[in-house]
Amino acid sequence: MKGKSETIVGLDIGTTKVCALVAEPGEDGNLEVKGLSLVRSKGMRKGVIVDLDGVIDCVNKAVSEASQRSGVSINSVYVGVAGSHISTLRNRGVTLVSGEAREISLGDVNRAMEAAQAVSIPQDKKTIHVLPMEFIVDGQRGIKDPIGMAGIKLETEVLIVLGSYTSIQSTVNCVTRAGLVLEGMLLEPIASAEAVLSPTEKELGVLVIDIGGGTTDIAVFLEGNIRHAAVIPVGGDHITSDIAAIFKIPLSMAEEIKIKYGCASVDYAESGLDIELKTALGKGASNSRISHRELCDVIEARVAEIFFLVRENLRKSQCAMYLPAGVVLTGGVALLKGIDDLAMKMLDLPVRIGRPRDVGGLSEMVSSPIFSTAVGLVKYGIQQRTSGDRHYRGSLIGGESWFDRLKERIIRMFVEFF
């Protein structure tokens, strides 16, 4: 197999699945998918690695299968990061515009961004991203790209995404021990948003809810930029656990029933439909039946809790008023029937199911919400390679070292001085 320099690989290491997606930019601007693999995850809990060797095995299997199916040798990957350890904070950075003409340069923007990072961070946390929400020039707000504008004072408001050093380093170790180069890391709700949102939705104001196995990741976009992100430690695995506990069945059977019969609202329960259960394992095993409505009632209770937690998070972050484009649901749990109706009822906003956009090649295979994060990681990788997208800064490990950043800063100061 022969590698291709334009090929990008997105690696989504989730609580329930590990997905490797091989793609490249197409001539029409779409993503051309060359290969895809999906393996059951092991060694993850709530988006955090708890068994490194188990996750490495899954990564090796997923990458090997994707490589065989695409005919491309995989050497490097872009990886999503999520988990209950993620937190965010906002800060503002200020700098005076340099140069006699007072024309804002990339150096001025970088100084403002560096000033915004001057916050006290706990020793067990590391910065993953510093994401500009807006720039302010001499008091004028709402500026997306100030480069080339005239001004005296430049300010930026940023969203700083933090993660547990231990958790993120474990992800890095997993990738490198699998024999891969880590090209970059991206917060998973941002990756999912890259895959499922339109530019118009990002401009108007929209909420992305990515409900995975271990966590529910949310991101708010307004005027084209991210304004809020959070990770809620409840996901599809909790639904499975509820079914298993209430009906006294194994987790594997509960998952199978959830996928086959699950609905997020009792309004979608089929009258007269009974589901056969094997209620115990080993000696004394017996069969019983439950109604479809009983199953849907259990699922609805947990999904309603997820949307309640999302609503409370929005209320505390004061973002609920900035969502005229409504809500986009994605992730595996978004496949549950009636989940959009329940979300509409709980959040009082228009809701749609988000599937990866602008995808060619094996488009039918990746059109499911399950693959939103992997598709978004590939799109992010293309942005990084082609334009060095400066809207995603501060990728922690697998990005630049402190020495590289210091060297770049010295070179920049030298160029600006002369």
The pLDDT tens digits for 53-110 are 999 999 999 999 999 999 999 999 999 998 888 888 999 999 999 877 889 999 999 9
Q: What are the chain's domains? A: 87-162 (3.30.1490.110), 236-302 (3.30.420.40)
Nearest to 88 by CA among 129, 48, 123: 129
How many whole angstroms separate alpha carbon 232 and alpha carbon 381? Answer: 26
In degrees, rounded to 5, the angle at the alpha carbon of residue 273 between the alpha carbons of residues 268 and 276 is 120
Residue with tokens 């749990």, as numbered in its chain? 333
Residue with tokens 């990738």, as numbered in its chain? 175
Please, what's the b/e burial string for 65-90 (b: 16 or more CB within 10 A of its CB; e: otherwise)? bbbebbebebebbbbbbbbbbbebee
* pLDDT score of 84: 82
Count CB neighbours of 28 within 10 A: 8
Are the C-beta atoms of residues 43 and 52 closer than 8 Å to each other?
Answer: yes
Are the C-beta atoms of residues 12 and 374 closer than 8 Å to each other?
Answer: yes
Residue type, position 96, single letter: L
Extract the residue ranges of the chain whose pLDDT is less than 50.
Answer: 1-4, 389-418
Please, what's the b/e burial string for 168-203 (b: 16 or more CB within 10 A of its CB; e: otherwise)? bebbbbbbeebebebbbbbbbbbbbbbbbbeeebbb
Residues facing residue 291 across a β-bridge: 274
Structure tokens at 211: 């409900």
* Residue 156 CB partners (closer than 8 Å, separation 6+): 92, 93, 109, 112, 113, 116, 132, 133, 134, 135, 136
Residues facing residue 22 across a β-bridge: 9, 35
* pLDDT score of 242: 96
How many whole angstroms separate alpha carbon 372 and alpha carbon 354? Answer: 8
Residue type, position 392, single letter: Y
Structure tokens at 12: 């989504």
* pLDDT score of 100: 79
* pLDDT score of 307: 97
| For helices 251-261 and 236-247, angle between their N-to-C axes, nearest 10 degrees | 110
Structure tokens at 344: 């509409």
* pLDDT score of 65: 95
Q: What sign for the dihedral angle of Cα 236, 242, 245, 250?
A: negative
How many whole angstroms separate alpha carbon 105 and alpha carbon 148? Answer: 6
* pLDDT score of 396: 38
Are the C-beta atoms of residues 131 and 393 closer than 8 Å to each other?
Answer: yes
Number of helices followed by number of strands (H, E) in the chain: 11, 19
* pLDDT score of 388: 52
pTM: predicted TM-score of the whole model, two decimal places: 0.85
Write the pLDDT tens digit of every residue in 144-169: 889 999 999 999 999 999 999 999 99
How many whole angstroms separate alpha carbon 247 and alpha carbon 258? Answer: 12
How many whole angstroms separate alpha carbon 81 and alpha carbon 72? Answer: 24
CA atoms within 13 A on the CB side of 183: 20
* pLDDT score of 260: 94
In degrees, rounded to 5, the angle at the alpha carbon of residue 10 between the alpha carbons of residues 113 and 372 is 90
Nearest to 237 by CA among 187, 329, 306: 306
* pLDDT score of 398: 36
